[in-house]
Each structure stands twice: as structure tokens, then as C-alpha cells.
Amino acid sequence: MNVASWNFQTWRGYFELMRPANIVTAWADILVGFAASGSGIILIQLINGDANFGVLIPLAWLLLATTGLYGGGIVFNDVFDADLDAKERPNRAIPSGRVSLRNATLLGSLLFAIGIGAAFQVSWLSGAIAIFITLSALLYNSLAKHHPFFGPLNMGLCRGSNLLLGVSAVPGIIAERWYLTLIPVIYIAAITAISQGEVHGGKKITGVLALILIAIVLTAILALGILPEYTAIAALPFAIFLAIRILPNFIKAAREPLPENIRNAVKIGVLSLIVLDATVASGFAGLYYGLAVLILLPISMKLAQIFAVT
């Protein structure tokens, strides 16, 4: 193997560790949190020429923060699973030898540092949330993911906190919008629960539980319409699209919990986080803002064709 080929394989290994398609879904969390903070309307005004570009500064820092935090979390997922992957997924970057365990650890640590540092550029509260996400990700990767209850809950908290990180663009709004974290918590809990059988197959009861959790999420994103600042009719088309994308795959995985069916459900579920975020974002900031978030979906899907999602 020549040097050029070796370099390509090495760099690809680093990108595989970071799961680029998944990071794009984390951007969507920030955008929906940004909308819920009331800043989404200002962003639309900016597009219309009625606001200055200063509103983009905290958003840019938060997008960089979530890139580092999510990237670091997913890298450490493979670091902690290195021995297991050597048996079950030998083609992954670390067991295949394309990235050493030491370098993967350094990469994950650097990404976490970037994420926390970027968050502190917005506010001390944003920085505190970033630290919480970092600790929660490490707890999940090292211990919680092996537990059938605390694993899904822990991962859901990571994702819910990521949405809260977007809300922290306006720190004072967090006390009013904290409940929004429950939506990704429940959604991710469903995905994480069903993903436990993606290697050896799962149990039907787990698939049924995941479907119940998805139904709760779909109900909740429309029930937000009771809030005066949330327009359910704007969210409805996105909610229908979300249901069409995820329910058939989750139903199939629940009926036939084979590894392939479960992996497909998990992949669609992860990528559809963007649709979930677009749904909630449209309720808070309008149809056009929701469509802007939804643009991330084809980007994430294209990256998913190049780099693994799970």
C-alpha cells in the first residue's frame, strides 16, 4: 500500500469514528433550540434584511460546540467498545488498525475540548450545559449503555441537553422551555432501546416499547399547540412526514427483530431526528424555518451513504 492510499484510509478512519451524518442531526437540535428561544424569528428577519448578522454569532458558536460534543461522544463510543468491536465489528476504524486506540482517545478529547470551549463563548450557562453533555456521554459510553433502562435514558438526556444548548442562545428562556428536552429524551430512548439488538437480534417486547415511545413523541409535538407561541398547523406536515419515515421500519423491527431490520430502524430513526427537529422548529418559528432545518436531511442521508451511522 502506497503512502497516498495509507493517508486516505487513515483520514477516512477518523471521519468514520466521528459519524458525520449523525453530527448533522446534532446541528438540527441546535436549530430547534434556537427557534424555541425566540431567535428563530430573528433569523427569518435576517434573511428578509430586517436584522443584522450579529444574531448569527451565538448560533455559529453553538453549532461548533455541538459538532465537538457529539463528535467526541461518538468517538469515545468506539474507544470504549474497541475490544467488543474486535470480535463483532472488525471493520470499524479502531479494530481494523486504521486508527490507533491512543489517537482515537486524543481525537475524542480534543473534540470535547472544542465543544466546551465554543459553548463558553456564548455564556457560562451554555458552557455548563456542554460540560454536562460531555460527562453524560462518557457515562453512557463507559457504563450506562449496557443497562436496558439507564442506557436509553442516559442517551436521551444527552440529546435533550443538546437541544437545551440551542435554547441557551437566550439563557433566560431556558427556565421557560426546559420541558422541550423531554421530546428528544423519549425519542432517543426509543431508538437506543431497539438498537440493543442490532448485532445479535432483539426481543419483540423491546420493539413494542419503542413503538409506544414513538407514539408518545408524535402526540407530544402536536400537543405543544396548546402553547400560544406554538403553531401546531405549521408543524403538522412535518409530523406526518416523520410518522411515514419511521413507523414502517419500527413496526417491521418489532414484528421481526432481526439484526438487519433493527439496524435499518435505528438508521432511519437517527436520521429522522432532523425531521423531528424540523417539526418542532416550524411550530415555534414558522413553516420556512422548519423547511430550512429539513434541508439538513438530504445532507445527512448523503453522508450516511459514505460513513456508517451506527
Separation of alpha carbons 214 and 68, rounded Å? 28
pLDDT of 146 reads 81
Residue stretches of the chain with pLDDT short of 50: 1-5
Separation of alpha carbons 56 and 37, rounded Å? 14
pLDDT of 291 reads 94
pLDDT of 5 reads 46
- Residues with Cβ within 8 Å of 205's Cβ and at least 6 positions away in sequence, in order, are none
Closest CA to 104 of 139, 78, 131: 78
Separation of alpha carbons 308 and 19, rounded Å? 6
Closest CA to 304 of 275, 266, 262: 266
Separation of alpha carbons 147 and 152, rounded Å? 8
Separation of alpha carbons 187 and 80, rounded Å? 24
pLDDT of 3 reads 43
pLDDT of 191 reads 87
Q: Which contacts of 56-62 are long-range, i.e. CB under 8 A and separated by 24 or more positions?
A: 58/122, 58/169, 59/30, 59/34, 59/169, 61/118, 61/119, 61/121, 61/122, 61/126, 62/30, 62/33, 62/34, 62/118, 62/119, 62/122, 62/126, 62/165, 62/166, 62/168, 62/169
Closest CA to 114 of 86, 98, 133, 89: 133
CB 281 within 8 A of CB 40: yes
Q: What is the pLDDT of residues 161-186, one digit of tens each?
A: 999 999 999 999 999 999 999 998 89
